[in-house]
Structure 1
Amino acid sequence: MAEKNSLLEVYKQTKGQLVGHGPRNIQILQDAFLNVDSGLESDMYGTGKVIENFQAKMAQYLGKEDAVFFPSGTMAQQIALRVWCDDRELQSVAYHPLSHLEIHEEDGLKKLHHIKTILLADKNRVIELDDVKSLQEDIACLLLELPQREIGGQLPTFETLKAISEYCRERGIKLHLDGARLYEILPYYKKTAIEVCELFDSVYVSFYKGIGGIAGAILAGEHSFVKNSKIWKRRYGGDLISLYPYIISANYYFDDRVNKMERYYEDAKELASYYNKCYGITTVPDIPMSNMFHVYLNFPKEKVEKVLINIYEATNIGLTGRINELDEQSCYFEVSIGDQYSTINKTEIDTVFSLLNKQLKEII
């Protein structure tokens, strides 16, 4: 059986998983709409109480003058950078080499807006103040992703953020926050969303990652910035006739989970400690800085998959459904903690990692 089914298939069949909030199925939408008044009026092309009230709520949470709801973060961030470039009459921005805009968006920023991108810092670490100071060209905007997902959710110190913010403001450089996982970093910094966001001129947050909604994003900033963003949203086709299924689910899961981030953070640190006690495994970071981290294994991907499938079938507990190959002798996967982890008995977790450690030692 183990040889016939893929890792993902066996993972989905387990009774419990240590990551995420659970299956992404129709139940997510049903739960969000369970107590919604059936007579609630829909939003229409970006207007109406459903969307306007939520935008106002998020602007207040982020400490910004205004906010606009987008169907996707990709759309929101490309538009944010375009607005800042137009504002400065300078078509150049900077961000990390592993930014979502650089590696996951098919060069949308460059192809659609003809904006030049400058990559800052080594790809294996976060952007520091010296990287910003070393810029040889003028830029309209600097984008910082917090946490830096592709390197395990690493973060700069809060003092570094403050220094970068001050440096940019002194030089008229707009600072944009890729805060897809903003909520998840607040326990590490021991700051409120407002305290983090006041360092930035514009902020993007997601509602399907740590929050676990269907889809959608908020882009927030000053009134003039949001006004221009709404124009570009219309140009992009982002003003669907109605966005309420996304908005209602975003609002529901925001209220349900935004105050659970401290628990997810502590759970992530605990889970990372389990992995780091196993033979041939290290996590990046060693101690997580948010609810996410990466697990690196010094074994071939195919052999790790066989080990995990065996463990899933023996314990009915899943660790991950996907392994990424680094080279012929190593691989890694991402961990993101949500509601699921706390539902698994610690005795069961001990058993899973005891088996994992034992079977990894037996790999030839």
Structure 2
Amino acid sequence: MSTLSPLAAAFRKTSYIVGGHGRKNIQILKDALDGIDGKLENDMYGNGESIESFQAEMAAYLGKEKAVFFPSGTMAQQIALRIWCDEKGIRKVAYHPLSHLEIHEEDGLKELHHIETVLLGEKNHLIRLSEILELREEIACLLIELPQREIGGELPPFEELVAISEHCRAKGIKLHLDGARLYEVLPYYQKSAAELCALFDSVYISFYKGIGGVAGAILAGDEAFTVKSKVWKRRHGGDLISLYPYYLSASYYFKQREPKMGKYYEEAVELASLYNRCHLVTTLPRVPVTNMFHVHIAMPKEKLEPILVGLYAETDVGLIHYLRESSEGVCSFEVSIGDAFAQIPKDKLKLTFERLAAMLK
């Protein structure tokens, strides 16, 4: 018996979906491996020509001396902060109250590494330079997430990032980039990855979020930092006997999709405009700054869900498979544009939003 909600079941039946790169299934891995010579030697415990070549490519892309492939970003980021705390002799770091490390990792940083955290700023806005300047606690590292996912993918001005970087370097504070969606911010800033990463001492990027790979992450920095990261990777059990399904799929989809980030961004602006024309609907930000944004609909879940189920059945287009009640009488969800959006016929997309607008009135 299916355990899917009525909305998720209706979403699964649609032929077209608005977000992401398509249905998540084993074909993702099959496509990535299809063109690879089966005689290619696999990596062994993080060593081998194929993984080392990929790591070198990513280091060059990010403008860093070295890069190390990790099976998960959770592992990579906790290790980055541990390294900086050990180096500084201070077991305290600062980040946004809605950082992934704070709300999605079961306090791993605190329980595994005994690192104290300072929650900087307020939940509903970005960390501001003024708040960093007013910080009186001594910290080893400041983590900045670009974009700030939990508040709709907001971004600070590039000039403010420069000022934050300069302040941290003057104060001897290490600056770490949670760049899980780094590629997605580059069209807005009109900067290369290397130009942006030059502001940071260490950088993490993901290969399954915006890129759509199977799993995996890169942690990059100077050589001394990455040597230490490999030791901690082993301690965390991250040196699987082979990681090739992850980094080969990462490489495949990175080459396909990193060049499309500008297109995804433009499509996100187009889609947000369609949402904002509907009664009771607003997007955050109103005009997206990346290919990701949040949608808020001022209607209780028990009323909105059957409307969307009916919409999907009528138009064959799935907008979202879940609803989160963000406040009383308001539902929200996240949209991230990838390859799937371009597959929707324009007339079908237009009809879908015309019908949504009518149904919400």
TM-score, normalised by the number of residues in structure 1: 0.97
State the alpha-carbon separation in 2 of the partners of residues 265 and 153 from structure 1: 12
Note the aligned Cα RMSD (angstroms).
Answer: 0.8
The corresponding residue for 1:325 is 325
Q: Distance in 2 between matches of 1:118 and 1:95?
A: 6
- The aligned residue for residue 167 of structure 1 is 167
Report what 2:141 is aligned to. Answer: 141
CA distance in 2, matches of 1:125, 1:239: 37
- Give the distance between the partners of 1:117 and 1:266, measured in 2 at CA: 36
The Cα shift of 1:327 comes to: 3.0
| Paired letter, 1:218 | I
TM-fit CA distance, 1:278: 0.3
Alpha-carbon displacement from aligned partner over 1:142-182 (angstroms, at most 9, x marks no partner): 00000000000000000010000000000000000000000
Instruction: Give the drift of 1:328.
Output: 3.4
Distance in structure 1 (CA, Å) of the matches to 2:110 and 2:36 = 41
Equivalents in 1 of 2:330, 2:60: separation in Å? 45
The aligned runs of 1:309-320 (5 Å cut-off) are 309-320=309-320
Q: Which amino acid aligns with 1:108?
A: G
Deviation at 1:123, TM superposition (A): 0.6
Q: Runs of 5+ in structure 2 lacking a partner?
A: none
What letter matches 1:131 in structure 2?
E
1:319-360 CA-to-partner distances (Å, cap 9, x unmatched) read 000110123311100000000111111111110011111111
TM-superposed CA distance for 1:9, in Å, is 1.0
Q: Partner residue of 1:192?
A: 192
For 1:68, the aligned partner's letter is: V
Q: Secondary structure at the match of 2:339?
A: coil
1:177-326 pair list within 5 angstroms: 177-326=177-326
Task: Give the structure 1 partner of residue 125 of structure 2.
Answer: 125
Between the aligned partners of 1:258 and 1:326, the Cα distance in structure 2 is 32
Contact 1:144/1:176 (CA < 8 Å) preserved in 2?
yes
Q: Which deviations, in whole Å up to 9, do the C-alpha atoms of 1:72-117 show, x marking residues without a partner?
A: 0000000000000000010000000000000000000000011000
State the number of aligned residues: 358
Amino acid at match of 2:338: G
- 1:279 corresponds to which letter in structure 2? H
Identity of aligned residues (%): 61
CA distance in 1, matches of 2:50, 2:247: 7
Unaligned runs of 5+ in 1: none
SS at match of 1:296: strand
- The answer for the alignment partner of 2:102 in structure 1 is 102
Per-residue deviation, residues 126-148 of structure 1 (Å, max 9, x unmatched) = 11111111111010000000000
- In 2, distance between residues paired with 1:322 and 1:147? 22
Q: Is the 8 A contact 1:282 1:297 kept in 2?
A: yes
Offset at residue 302 of structure 1 (A): 1.6
Q: Classify the secondary structure of the residue corresponding to 1:248.
A: helix
Give the CA deviation at 1:5: 6.0
Q: 2:75: which partner in 1?
A: 75
Stretch moving more, 120-129 or 258-267: 120-129
**Moved beyond 2 Å, runs of 4+:** none
The DSSP-based 3-state class of the residue aligned with 1:340 is: helix
Aligned residue type for 1:267? E
For 2:164 and 2:319, locate their aligned partners in 1 and report how far apart those are by CA, in whole Å. Answer: 37
Q: Distance in 2 between matches of 1:96 and 1:279?
A: 32
